């Protein structure tokens, strides 16, 4: 174990963000046109009206820089003592940021193969960590994407074991977010690796949201008790979280037209590649929010104090979306437009603040000297 050369600071962030060097979305280099799509110049409204993703909400809370000098921070998960574990995608390293501000490298996850969008991605901490000292990681290997359980004694990473394998891996669309739900099950988001038909293939784990037990077994109340598949028809989901009423929300990258926020319900089919965005076609479930792909490329998602917060890569902004008690969504408001470059992950901390990360070292941004960074706000 050794100290990582990341500078942890306690001053208010004042550095301007950066622009992209190329118009690279988290998408296919030559996106396919979906079979059916809603088109037009204005995104249909959240829960039925007209959206305005660039409307100002007034004064935005000024972010405080929590950490800087990171390399593509992707997954963030918190230990019972309030320390944060941070996954660096390309180097496959996990950093620990303790509540006092010290950041330490705790180890490298073995056999990780970094690709354009793959590598060391999501992290989760066991709900019973105090008893089992176990964390979980979603990783890309030479064979597949998989979920590992890893022992961590508070100082160093220990043995790792795969609990879910066979998730398709590729240069793009690797999904990668993992999180324990209110039901104690582990939810796993996957991508279709640019091969859209996998999202509708019930024999493939690609383009799905999966639900498993902490040991990798399949919960008996899954839609199919012999399958980890919870929902199908996804292109590339990189953000999930639950609201106060236990509803599961997810962000999804579109192809050529619409990015999405979806309300996730077991057994539903979200349409890709047959539809993109709101379509009212067949048995497919429509998103409740959609943006033009030029506005968003939504990655991380967090629910905090009655709102969803969505980190946008290509859009270089943080969206705030009010959630009503009945599950309808209000108009998205864009924060920090272009101020910090590409934004990847957003999480709620044990201190009831919100963190969001930059992703300017991911090959599609122009890093500032202190990137990549983690910012903290108190909305």
Mean pLDDT of the chain: 88
Tens of pLDDT, residues 366-376: 999 999 999 99
What's the domain range around 135?
59-377
pLDDT of 206 over the 50 cut:
yes
Quote the pLDDT of residue 45: 35
Tens of pLDDT, residues 101-136: 999 999 999 999 999 999 999 999 999 999 999 999
For residues 280-286, average pLDDT: 92
Residue whose structure tokens are 């024999």: 203
Residue 39 lies in a domain: no
Tens of pLDDT, residues 80-92: 999 999 999 999 9
Tens of pLDDT, residues 146-174: 999 999 999 999 999 999 999 999 999 99
CB-neighbour burial class of residue 141 (10 A; exposed 0-12, middle 13-18, buried 19+): middle
d(CA 139, CA 148): 8
Quote the pLDDT of residue 55: 52
pLDDT of 54 over the 60 cut:
no
Q: Which has the closest alpha carbon to 291: 83, 28, 115, 46? A: 46
Q: Report the CATH number that the domain containing residue 120 is assigned in CATH.
A: 2.120.10.30
In DSSP notation, 192-236 reads -TT-GGGGG-TT--TT-EEEE-TTSPPPTTSSSTT--EEEB--SB
The answer to whether 264 touches 240, Cβ cutoff 8 Å, is yes
Residue 205 lies in a domain: yes
For residue 282, what pLDDT band results from cuts at 50, 70 and 90?
confident
pLDDT of 8 over the 70 cut:
no
Residue 33 lies in a domain: no
Sign of CA dihedral 20, 364, 250, 17: negative
Domain count, the chain: 1
Proportion of the chain above pLDDT 90, given as a percent: 83
For residues 61-79, average pLDDT: 97
pLDDT of 39 over the 50 cut:
no
The pTM (predicted TM-score) of the whole model is 0.88
| 58 beta partners | none
Q: Which two tokens stand for residue 357?
A: 């990360």
Residue 36 lies in a domain: no
Q: Which alpha helices (DSSP H) does the chain contain, by range?
A: 129-132
Q: Is cis: bond before 372, omega within 30 of 0?
A: yes
d(CA 301, CA 315): 14
C-alpha atoms less than 13 angstroms from C-alpha of 166 in its C-beta half-sphere: 11
Tens of pLDDT, residues 215-250: 999 999 999 999 999 999 999 999 999 999 999 999
Q: What is the DSSP letter of 48?
A: G
For residue 58, what pLDDT band results from cuts at 50, 70 and 90?
low
pLDDT of 40 over the 70 cut:
no
Residue 6 lies in a domain: no
Sheet architecture: strand order including 248-252: 237-242, 248-252, 258-264, 289-292
Residue 23 lies in a domain: no
Q: Which residue has the higher pLDDT, 19 or 199?
A: 199
Quote the pLDDT of residue 1: 43
Residue 53 lies in a domain: no
Q: Which two tokens stand for residue 314?
A: 């290509």
For residues 257-275, average pLDDT: 98
Residue 330 lies in a domain: yes
Quote the pLDDT of residue 11: 29
Backbone angles phi, psi at 47, to 5 degrees: 50, 25
For residue 181, what pLDDT band results from cuts at 50, 70 and 90?
very high
Quote the pLDDT of residue 24: 37
């Amino acid at each position: 174990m050794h100290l990582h050369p990341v500078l942890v600071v306690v001053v208010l962030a004042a550095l301007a963000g950066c622009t992209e060097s190329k118009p690279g979305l988290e998408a296919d280099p030559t996106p396919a046109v979906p079979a059916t799509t809603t088109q037009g110049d204005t995104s249909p409204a959240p829960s039925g009206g007209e959206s305005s993703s660039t409307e100002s909400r007034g004064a935005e809370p000024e972010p405080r820089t929590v950490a800087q000098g990171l390399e593509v921070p992707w997954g963030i998960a918190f230990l019972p003592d309030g320390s944060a574990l941070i996954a660096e995608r390309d180097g496959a390293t996990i950093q620990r940021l303790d509540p006092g501000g010290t950041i330490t490298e705790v180890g490298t996850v073995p056999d990780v193969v970094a690709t354009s969008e793959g590598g060391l991605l999501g992290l989760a901490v066991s709900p019973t960590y105090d008893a089992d000292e176990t964390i979980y990681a979603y990783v890309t290997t030479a064979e597949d994407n998989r979920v590992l359980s890893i022992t961590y004694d508070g100082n160093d990473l220990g043995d790792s074991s795969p609990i879910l394998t066979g998730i398709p891996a590729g240069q793009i669309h690797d999904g990668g977010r993992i999180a324990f739900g209110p039901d104690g099950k582990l939810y796993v988001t996957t991508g279709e690796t640019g091969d859209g038909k996998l999202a509708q293939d019930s024999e493939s784990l690609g383009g799905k949201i999966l639900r498993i037990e902490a040991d990798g077994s399949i919960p008996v109340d899954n839609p199919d008790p012999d399958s980890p598949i919870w929902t199908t028809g996804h292109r590339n989901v990189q953000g999930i979280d639950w609201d106060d009423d236990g509803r599961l929300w997810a962000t999804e990258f579109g192809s050529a037209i619409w990015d999405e926020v979806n309300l996730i319900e077991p057994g539903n089919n979200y349409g890709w590649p047959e539809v993109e965005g709101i379509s009212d076609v067949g048995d497919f479930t429509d998103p409740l929010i959609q943006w033009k792909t030029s506005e968003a490329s939504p990655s991380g998602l967090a629910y905090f104090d009655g709102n969803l917060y969505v980190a946008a890569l290509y859009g270089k902004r943080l969206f705030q979306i009010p959630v009503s008690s009945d599950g309808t969504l209000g108009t998205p408001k864009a924060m920090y437009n272009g101020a910090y470059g590409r934004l990847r992950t957003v999480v709620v901390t044990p201190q009831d603040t919100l963190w969001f990360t930059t992703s300017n070292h991911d090959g599609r941004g122009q890093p500032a000297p202190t990137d990549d960074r983690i910012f903290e706000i108190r909305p």
